[in-house]
Structure 1
Amino acid sequence: MLTDPTSAIWDAVKARLLSDPDIASVFADRVYDKIQNTPTFPYISLGAVQVLPELGEGIDAAEVFLTLNSWTRFTGSDALRSGGKYLIAALHDEELQIEGGAVLSILLESSRTIPDPDGVTKHGVYTFQILTDANVL
């Protein structure tokens, strides 16, 4: 049976980020799935998610690519990189518990910073590779 771990992973990632004091020092409690119409900067938002199922006899695993975005405004790139450093430290190669299965690993796949066309917003993009197995509890 194909298990989609996306919701469980997002719940665990969000909980981890909200409980991290370094994340709180930069982003407070601004970690969003759905961004408000007029958000307070800086904040973290859920980006693209890709699930690659690994199915077979007795296997119900997935490789998930989860992208998180960080956003700052009216600050230099150093502020964005500082927040990104904390975001990576909170998740890369750390233990993560999810409902309905196990996270076997979570590793940073890539990170980049992008200046927004508005000239005042900076955007960090962090993609994590997450291996899960629904048969391991």
Structure 2
Amino acid sequence: MSGRDLSGPLRRAVVAALQADPGVAALAGGRVYDHVPAAPAYPFLRCTTTIASPWEATGSVQGSLIRLQVDAFAKGYGRASAEPLAAATVAALDEADLAVPDGSLVSLQWRQTRMLDDPAEQGVVHAVIEFDAIAAS
């Protein structure tokens, strides 16, 4: 099976969509990062891990199956500090129709959200939000 890795263009499209989403902006402002600055203000989102594998449809359509991870970080004690930002992220991206440079988005679906206490910093809650996508060219 052959494919085409579109995980980079998809990640950039997701960052742009989250930065433009009013629900996310109300909670995180413009703090949606591909790379987090040294001393970020809270709360913020980080679009990090992508895992891509080849995808091919009938004919010459090729692309990628992509697992995309968005991390939400919030300060406050308890999971409730990160839950609204995680929910806004899901609302902004689940089944979204994003423009992917050099390709097209076939599907983008929310997979799961996990809430974790961040061991690196006291009082920081970390939500791991995962999506499954198919992007093709």
Do these two structures clear the TM 0.5 threshold for a shared fold by scoring above it?
A: yes
Query: % of aligned pairs identical?
Result: 22
| CA RMSD between the two structures | 1.6
C-alpha distance in structure 2 between counterparts of 1:7 and 1:90, whole Å: 19
Cross-structure match for 1:97: 99
C-alpha distance in structure 2 between counterparts of 1:122 and 1:108, whole Å: 20
Cross-structure match for 1:119: 122
Bigger CA drift: 14-23 or 76-85? 76-85
Bigger CA drift: 44-53 or 72-81? 72-81
Cross-structure match for 1:65: 67
TM-score w.r.t. length of structure 1: 0.90
Structure 1 residues 21-70: Cα deviation after superposition (integer angstroms, max 9, x where no partner)? 11001100001111111111110012211001124862312100010000
Q: 2:108 aligns with which of 92, 101, 106?
A: 106
C-alpha distance in structure 2 between counterparts of 1:24 and 1:114, whole Å: 22
What is the SS of the residue equivalent to 2:82?
helix
Unpaired runs of at least 5, structure 2? none
What is the SS of the residue equivalent to 1:99?
coil
Unpaired runs of at least 5, structure 1? none
User: Counterpart amino acid of 1:104?
Assistant: V
1:76 Cα offset (Å): 3.6
**Pairs within 5 Å for 1:37-48:** 37-48=38-49
Runs of 4 or more, structure 1, over 6 Å off, are none
C-alpha distance in structure 2 between counterparts of 1:55 and 1:20, whole Å: 31
Cross-structure match for 2:27: 26
1:96 Cα offset (Å): 1.3
2:7–2:64 contact (8 Å) kept in structure 1: no
C-alpha distance in structure 1 between counterparts of 2:61 and 2:77, whole Å: 47
TM-score w.r.t. length of structure 2: 0.90
Bigger CA drift: 19-28 or 114-123? 114-123
Cross-structure match for 2:131: 128
